[in-house]
Structure 1
């Protein structure tokens, strides 16, 4: 027999759950453990190992970046000292145009490096 009463309405209830994170939802984790005993602990252990690996990798990248920055500063300082010494030596020997060329070239190279890295950061 059909429902002919217009006051009675059918309704549909829809339930959605969203969960995000490195581990499954706790209910799903419990179901894994029901199917395979010890699976929940293995999944948690796997997530902990992945997190430790990610932190280790980020630490190494940060240390290498700092080391590269320091080496860049040291080599830039040594280059400036060597080029300044070359300019002074050329002036001492009376090669004014050579000294000027070295000085202008050095300034242009240093300015070029700064402009390059400034543009690279953007």
Structure 2
């Protein structure tokens, strides 16, 4: 894929930061980079409820006042992924955690 190195670093950093906050103490956050220009970040926290899956990408949205942060991380991620022609999705993992998957368009390697 072609893209801004700093923008892709910001995408990964924001997703990993969120996953680390959600991950139970002593747990493991997984980051998988695919040959198909995809990135998956998986945690084993509470997951993201279906009803919140669109809301989480809204600027300043937080689940509640106890949730740390400004609510900008996922909005920034979605914006940067979109600027690169990619897509982001969230799903529930086995056991109830969250999986954020980012896909980018592949470039011709010629």
Same fold (TM > 0.5) = no
Whichever structure has more helix as a proportion of its residues is 1
Whichever structure has more strand as a proportion of its residues is 2
TM-score of the two chains, using structure 2 as the length reference:
0.25
TM-score of the two chains, using structure 1 as the length reference:
0.23
Higher Cα Rg, which structure: 1
